[in-house]
Amino acid sequence: MDKLVSSWYNDQSLPESYIFPPHERPGKLLVPRCNTVPVIDLSDTRTNLVHQILKASQEFGLFQVVNHGVPPNIMSETMSVFHKFFELPAEDKASLTVYTNDPKRCKLVTSTLDYDREKIHLWRDVLRHPCHPDCIEFWPRKPLRYREVVAACSIEAKKLGLQILELLCEGIGIEHGYFEHELTEDLLLRANHYPPCPDPSLTLGIPKHFDPDILTILLQEHISGLQVLKDGEWIGVRPIPNAFVVNIGYILQVISNNKLKGAEHRVVTNSSDHRISVVFCMNPAGNSNIEPAKSVVTATNPPLCRGFQFKEFLDNFYSMEGDADLALQPFKL
Ligand code: OGA
Ligand code: NI
């Protein structure tokens, strides 16, 4: 019973197993306040950028970037490749839906990797795979240009992410190059497909969560759906042509010793349009040590947690059903 939502969404009303409890539902207010999420022009001066990115990361944990230098054709071709991918006939996608726990392999699932155990299903299908060159042999073969286009985009996404991390390091006083190697070694791709939904007020594409990574770089189209929680209120992240959405991951919040704020966000569905988002997650290597950076810890700002291996945190995160705060609990001081 874990057929892709995209294969049946048109045939029936919203099944009960997709209905969220009342306090989690988006309700009627599907597109709440807009326009307040910061938009940062990366062609600005370095001094201005350091200031703006730091402010956005402290206040929202999420912002958009424009004039970032990623060629627009790479962005549009990436979107187009994923449209074609999700439109492929079922037989072309079948080999990717086979269960595997090999972390190098590509997985296409509906809802989450935990479909059989979860209480409520999410209104999305998702393709995920590592972006490391060693894993490309497992990437989809169709559409024909998938590997070429997605490889080009993932290289650009990582470059952009490292550039933003450098600006953040300067802003909070972490040494240059801190994130350059182990801490951003694993770039993971997640392509989400949210088909039109018969009742968007009752369900979600993804419920409220922090991304359990360092930084997330997201490509969306002209269809709204992503929202960020700010001061207890959900704010829609307005799609802007050729922009990337950037959000601070929970692990970066930990390394910054809470100087930066991880973004709590969610995705609502809509009843008329398919929505696709392409998400690049900058993740530490599994065995890398995560701890508040020494340079941000002081007598008045003591470390909030002890050091731990990234994979220990991830194990907790998945066994706590994606609750990052609970996953960090065992390491707190
Ligand atoms: C995610 C996520 C947002 C979106 O995949 O973690 O938050 O707009 N996606 O699809
Ligand atoms: Ni997310």
Helices of type H across the chain: 46-59, 72-87, 90-93, 146-172, 250-255, 310-319, 324-328
Establish if 290 belongs to a structural domain: yes
Q: Which ligand is nearest to the CA of 278?
A: 1
From the CA of 209, how far away is ligand 2's center (Å)?
6
Confidence (pLDDT) at 31: 58
The residues lining ligand 1, judged by C-beta closer than 6 Å to any ligand atom, are 190, 192, 206, 211, 218, 220, 225-226, 265, 267, 277, 279
Establish if 1 belongs to a structural domain: no
Three-state secondary-structure class, residue 212: coil
From the CA of 285, how far away is ligand 1's center (Å)?
21
Report the candidate in 130, 132, 141, 142 with the shortest Cα–Cα distance to residue 105. 130
Closest ligand 1 atom to 265 CA: 7
Q: Are strands 186-194 and 107-110 parallel, antiparallel or unpaired?
A: unpaired
CATH label of the domain that carries residue 34: 2.60.120.330
Closest ligand 1 atom to 226 CA: 8
- All residues at 6 or more sequence positions from 29 whose CB lies less than 8 Å from its CB, including other chains: 234
Provide block-wise average pLDDT over 10 residues at a time, the chain (333 residues). Answer: 86 94 84 76 98 97 98 98 96 88 93 91 97 96 97 98 98 97 97 97 97 98 95 92 98 98 96 97 98 96 97 95 95 96
Give the DSSP letter string of 236-258.
E----TT-EEEEE-HHHHHHTTT
Confidence (pLDDT) at 71: 98
Establish if 238 belongs to a structural domain: yes
> Per DSSP, what are the bridge partners of residue 87?
none
From the CA of 291, how far away is ligand 2's center (Å)?
22
Q: Which ligand is nearest to the CA of 194?
A: 1
Nearest Cα residue to atom 6 of ligand 1: 211
The CA distance from 267 to 123, in Å, is 9
Total structural domains in the chain? 1
The CA distance from 324 to 318, in Å, is 9
- Give the type of residue at 204: L
Its domain, for residue 105, covers 29-296
Burial class (CB in 10 A: 0-12, 13-18, 19+), 96: buried
From the CA of 194, how far away is ligand 2's center (Å)?
14
Report the candidate in 167, 330, 152, 323 with the shortest Cα–Cα distance to residue 246. 167
The CA distance from 267 to 245, in Å, is 14
Give the DSSP letter string of 9-32.
TTTSS--GGGPPPGGGS-TT--S-
Establish if 198 belongs to a structural domain: yes
Confidence (pLDDT) at 2: 66
User: Which residue among 128, 248, 264, 279 is best mutated to probe the pocket of ligand 1, counting the most ligand atoms within 8 A of its Cβ?
Assistant: 279
Confidence (pLDDT) at 29: 63
Establish if 24 belongs to a structural domain: no
User: Which residue among 228, 229, 265, 317 is best mutated to probe the pocket of ligand 1, counting the most ligand atoms within 8 A of its Cβ?
Assistant: 265
Closest ligand 1 atom to 124 CA: 10
Establish if 239 belongs to a structural domain: yes
Helices of type H across 60-136: 72-87, 90-93
Establish if 307 belongs to a structural domain: no
Measured CA angle at 38 (ends 240, 226), to 5 deg: 55
Q: Which ligand is nearest to the CA of 249?
A: 2
* Torsion sign (Cα): 294, 299, 304, 305: positive
Burial class (CB in 10 A: 0-12, 13-18, 19+), 83: middle
Confidence (pLDDT) at 1: 43
From the CA of 266, how far away is ligand 2's center (Å)?
7
Q: At what angle do helices 46-59 and 146-172 cross, to 10 degrees?
A: 90
Closest ligand 1 atom to 266 CA: 7
